[in-house]
């Protein structure tokens, strides 16, 4: 019996977008329940502090180092390490290193349209 192969997903065959000054993202999985994005942040890039009313997120570093500020506390997240952010918690991610940071961002439900900027930033 011949079976059709299941398609494999990668950054090379996924929807690409840019954000911030020079950052990139690839939608590896988009559904109503979960979003998986591979992101690339060059050195010196950052997002603005925000929170999500409904989405919880998990950042998992594939290469480089991310600095993640969560509710006023800062963590260095290195290759093969991750950090969970609960819904409603203010955070920002930046690359303070001298090399690219590549990571997976998993959101449930998807965070698109659920981003609320923090005041005072």
Residue 51 lies in a domain: yes
Calpha distance 23→34 (Å, rounded): 22
Strands, DSSP E only, in 54-112?
56-63, 65-70, 73-78, 82-85, 91-94, 101-108
Q: Is residue 60 included in any domain, yes or no?
A: yes
Residue 18 lies in a domain: no
Give the domain extent around 57: 32-116
In a domain, 19, yes or no: no
Number of domains in the chain: 1
Would residue 71 count as lying in a domain? Answer: yes
Q: What is the pLDDT of residues 62-99, one digit of tens each?
A: 999 999 999 999 999 999 999 999 999 999 999 999 99
Query: pLDDT tens digits for 1-46?
Result: 678 888 899 999 999 999 998 999 999 999 999 999 999 999 999 9
Q: Does residue 14 belong to any structural domain of this protein?
A: no
Phi and psi angles of residue 11, each rounded to the nearest 5 degrees, phi first: -60, -30
Domain presence at residue 39: yes
**Contact (Cβ atoms closer than 8 angstroms) between residue 62 and residue 79:** yes
Question: Residue 83 belongs to a domain with what CATH number?
Answer: 2.60.120.10
């Amino acid at each position: 019996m011949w079976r059709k192969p299941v398609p494999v997903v990668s950054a090379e065959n996924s929807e690409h977008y840019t954000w911030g000054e020079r950052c990139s993202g690839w939608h590896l999985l988009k559904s109503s329940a979960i979003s998986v994005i591979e992101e690339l942040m060059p050195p010196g890039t950052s997002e603005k502090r925000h929170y999500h009313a409904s989405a919880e997120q998990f950042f998992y570093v594939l290469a480089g180092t991310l600095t993640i500020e969560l509710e006023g506390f800062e963590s260095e997240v290195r290759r093969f390490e991750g950090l969970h952010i609960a819904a409603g918690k203010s955070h920002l991610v930046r690359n303070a290193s001298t090399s690219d940071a590549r990571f997976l961002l998993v959101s449930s439900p998807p965070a698109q349209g659920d981003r609320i900027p923090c005041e005072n930033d």
